[in-house]
Homo-oligomer: A and B are copies of this chain.
Amino acid sequence: MSFLEYIKENKARYEDELISFLRIPSVSTEPSHDPETRRCAEFVRDELSRIGMDNVAIYETARHPVVFGQRLDAGEGAHTVLFYGHYDVQPVDPLNLWTNPPFEPTIVGDQIYARGASDDKGQVFLQLKALEALLKTEGKLPVNVKVIIEGEEEIGSPNLEPFLEKYREMLSCDTVLVSDTPMYDYGMPSLCYGLRGLCYMELEVTGPNRDLHSGSYGGVVENPINALSRIISKLKGEDGHILIDGFYDSVRSVEPEERKELARLPFDEAARKADLEVGTFTGEQDYSPLERIWARPTLDANGIWGGFAGSGAKTVLPSKAGAKVSMRLVPDQTPGEIAKLFEAYVKKITPPGVIVKVTDLHGGLPAVTPIDSAGVRAARRALKEVFGREPFLTREGGSIPIVNSFLKILEAPTVLMGFTMPDQNAHSPNEKMYLPGFHDGVRATALFYKELAKEAK
């Protein structure tokens, strides 16, 4: 029996087992769920053993453990893939918005509803089922495969980097495979090859040393809210161009070939605007909306405060005002460098009469995987085989920090090959997974390993 026949014959069992996995309420952020989260790690460990992985073990961390397994059948000359996923899930609040209980998986039509169905248990499980199909029909894997499934992704993976550092040798690999992103849409297979980075800053503007009566000092004392508004308004032009000196110096331009590829993707601007109830999309008009979201850096104020925000009128000239401002970065910008440019520019444009304190709160590197790597080539062929069409190459406007951890510590690029759909309510009530996508994912993953074996290392 071929592995594809095996996958077809075992569909029902695969779904039953997925249901067992989804029943475990492994909410990592809630200490009251810790025993269940532990039980979930043990479920993954047992599953890895059952499908035939070697060296299966639970590795303790400061909080929730990482589950490991590997098969190194292909030998030293072959590719080594590290599959990464997570067995923990988001909290379920608000519970009253769920149609079915979040930990009682329910199939309605083609969708299975449960917390974690798409993020990330469904995707982890299809990966394991692909390995099972190959191992049970061929007795070995076509490339070397290592698996780590962590339990802290939904709380920011605080112990993943220490784990990668500690077991750097054991985890060494050529390619990291992650199934934690959606497809571009139903029937539209996609590979995500780019993520934006982040530089998140806080501003605090101080004027007088105490709140003043605006009647007594309005006209001579600089108002921190007015000053802060002026600063923010000078960070970005009305055309969406960021005005910080040197901001674009390291921005890798979007190549014509990539623009052509992105232009292939349907983007229903009218429908999106209607959904958000905005009259127009703004930003750099020289770039398409998808290019602006995925491939161009941006700047947004994420919060602002100062003075009197209650109801009615209070004539205060406040002592302080503050804001949070973040920038999404693209290669080859770095958060450290951008933070420096931001601070220098803010100091330059700060009006007289106030002082400004700039704090670097958080940063993450942007990441772009070369789209002509062995891993991406193998994934493209596998997806085309399963879906009958060339996969779309996509990027994400947000950040997935672990991708940079893998690059930094393991020196391996990541292939982001996901099989959920954009409407599957990850992090929201009524999370679901499209079951045909689950089975497509099993096949595509098995084919990916077969295709990768054909690539020169």
Residues of A whose CB lies within 8 Å of any CB of B are: 196, 198, 200, 207-210, 212-223, 225-226, 228-236, 238, 240, 276-284, 289, 292-293, 296, 298-310, 312-318, 321-324, 326, 328, 351-355, 361-362, 396-399
CA distance A243 to B302 in the complex (A): 27
User: Known: A220-B283, A353-B278, A399-B215. Is A321-B292 also a contact (CB below 8 A)?
Assistant: no
CA distance A244 to B196 in the complex (A): 39
CA distance A238 to B316 in the complex (A): 20
**A228 partner residues in chain B, CB cutoff 8 A:** 229, 304
User: Known: A282-B220, A305-B305, A308-B303. Is A212-B276 also a contact (CB below 8 A)?
Assistant: yes
Give A230's nearest chain B residue, CB to CB.
B233
Contact of A220 among B210, B220, B234, B292 (CB under 8 A): B292
Contact A397 B218 (CB under 8 A): yes
- Identify 16 new A-B residue pairs, CB closer than 8 A, beyond the known A213-B398, A304-B307: A216-B398, A219-B283, A221-B276, A225-B232, A225-B300, A225-B303, A226-B233, A229-B231, A233-B234, A238-B351, A278-B353, A280-B353, A303-B310, A304-B306, A312-B362, A313-B361
User: Known: A220-B281, A283-B220. Is A314-B303 also a contact (CB below 8 A)?
Assistant: yes
CA distance A303 to B209 in the complex (A): 17
* Cβ of A213 to closest chain B Cβ, rounded Å: 6
User: Known: A212-B276, A225-B301. Is A217-B361 also a contact (CB below 8 A)?
Assistant: no
**A222 partner residues in chain B, CB cutoff 8 A:** 278, 280, 282
* Cβ of A237 to closest chain B Cβ, rounded Å: 10
Contact B352 A298 (CB under 8 A): no
Give A354's nearest chain B residue, CB to CB.
B278
User: Known: A233-B230, A302-B316, A305-B305. Is A278-B215 also a contact (CB below 8 A)?
Assistant: no
Contact of A313 among B281, B299, B313, B326 (CB under 8 A): B326
Give A224's nearest chain B residue, CB to CB.
B301
Contact of A200 among B304, B313, B351 (CB under 8 A): B313
Contact A217 B293 (CB under 8 A): yes
> Could you pull out 30 A-B pairs where Cβ atoms are within 8 angstroms?
A198-B215, A200-B313, A208-B277, A208-B278, A214-B302, A214-B326, A215-B328, A215-B397, A218-B299, A219-B283, A219-B397, A221-B276, A222-B280, A222-B282, A225-B303, A225-B323, A226-B235, A229-B231, A229-B232, A233-B234, A278-B353, A301-B307, A303-B307, A303-B308, A303-B316, A309-B322, A309-B324, A313-B361, A314-B324, A315-B326
Give A323's nearest chain B residue, CB to CB.
B225
CA distance A306 to B198 in the complex (A): 21
CA distance A303 to B231 in the complex (A): 16
**A238 partner residues in chain B, CB cutoff 8 A:** 230, 351
**A212 partner residues in chain B, CB cutoff 8 A:** 276
**A307 partner residues in chain B, CB cutoff 8 A:** 301-304, 324
CA distance A230 to B235 in the complex (A): 10
Give A322's nearest chain B residue, CB to CB.
B309
CA distance A229 to B283 in the complex (A): 16
Contact B229 A276 (CB under 8 A): no
Give A198's nearest chain B residue, CB to CB.
B315
CA distance A304 to B238 in the complex (A): 21
* Cβ of A94 to closest chain B Cβ, rounded Å: 15
CA distance A353 to B282 in the complex (A): 7
Contact A315 B302 (CB under 8 A): yes
Contact B218 A300 (CB under 8 A): yes
CA distance A352 to B228 in the complex (A): 21
* Cβ of A219 to closest chain B Cβ, rounded Å: 4
Contact A279 B215 (CB under 8 A): no
* Cβ of A362 to closest chain B Cβ, rounded Å: 4
Contact A351 B229 (CB under 8 A): no
CA distance A228 to B306 in the complex (A): 14
Contact A296 B219 (CB under 8 A): yes
Contact B226 A236 (CB under 8 A): yes
**A306 partner residues in chain B, CB cutoff 8 A:** 301, 303-304
* Cβ of A388 to closest chain B Cβ, rounded Å: 29
**A398 partner residues in chain B, CB cutoff 8 A:** 213, 215-216, 315
CA distance A316 to B230 in the complex (A): 21
Contact B217 A313 (CB under 8 A): no
* Cβ of A176 to closest chain B Cβ, rounded Å: 21
